[in-house]
Amino acid sequence: MTTQWWLEETPPPEVPGVPRLTLLLDDAAARAAALLRGEPEPVSDDPLADAVRILAGPGGHEFVAEAARQTGLPEEELRRLVLAHRHGGSTGVLTALAPAPVDPAEAIREIQARRGFAGLTAEPGMVTDLTAKVQVRHGADGRWYPFTLWRDRWWPATGATISPGAAFQAAQRARRAR
């Protein structure tokens, strides 16, 4: 008796379980709905930003520990990036990882005009007030993203805008709310 050829093939790898498939389907449905509303498709070729987008969706919090193991990032870092995605999408994630380089001189002038004091430090794409524990970072989309210092880490806050002064004020409001 001869063995059937298909019985000799290596079986396929394990397929994702229902919770993982549900997570992926929810993400695909949310992206499709956004496209139908005329919103632009997320522009990121970064696999980490893509994973964070999925974790930021409904039910994604259940997979943070698994994603941490697979990416090698600490769970706290993934949670910080999920928060960045919720406040600014894929660009928010990339800005949380590293600001887009831009000369901060104009941003400092605008922030000082609103703040009225010169205790600011600047790097390309970033302005920080360590005394107030707030920071704004320039994103690749031209918006400034607010951050607040908590437990020696910069955490994203809501209020990304093209105005560095308005983003700075959003960071101050977020800091006061802590």
The per-residue pLDDT string of the chain (178 residues; one tens digit each, 9 = 90 and over) reads: 566 766 677 767 777 789 989 999 999 998 899 899 998 776 677 889 889 999 999 899 999 999 999 999 999 999 999 999 999 988 999 999 999 999 999 998 888 887 766 689 999 999 999 999 999 999 999 999 999 999 999 999 999 999 999 999 999 999 999 7
Report how far residue 158's alpha carbon sits from residue 161's, in angstroms, rounded to the nearest whole number: 10
Last residue of a domain, one of 80, 97, 114: 97
Q: How far is CA 54 from CA 19, 30, 61, 69, 83, in A?
A: 13, 10, 10, 16, 12
Report how far residue 128's alpha carbon sits from residue 134's, in angstroms, rounded to the nearest whole number: 6
CB atoms within 10 A of CB 2: 4
Same domain, 92 and 143: no
Report how far residue 112's alpha carbon sits from residue 66's, in angstroms, rounded to the nearest whole number: 43
* The pLDDT of residue 3: 62
The tokens describing 65, both together, are 């520990």
* Residue-number span of the structural domain to which 122 is assigned: 105-177
* The pLDDT of residue 150: 95
Same domain, 62 and 89: yes
Q: How many CA atoms lie less than 13 Å away from 49 in the CB half-sphere?
A: 18
Residues belonging to the chain: 178
The tokens describing 86, both together, are 């919720």
* The pLDDT of residue 31: 87
> Is 10 inside any structural domain?
no
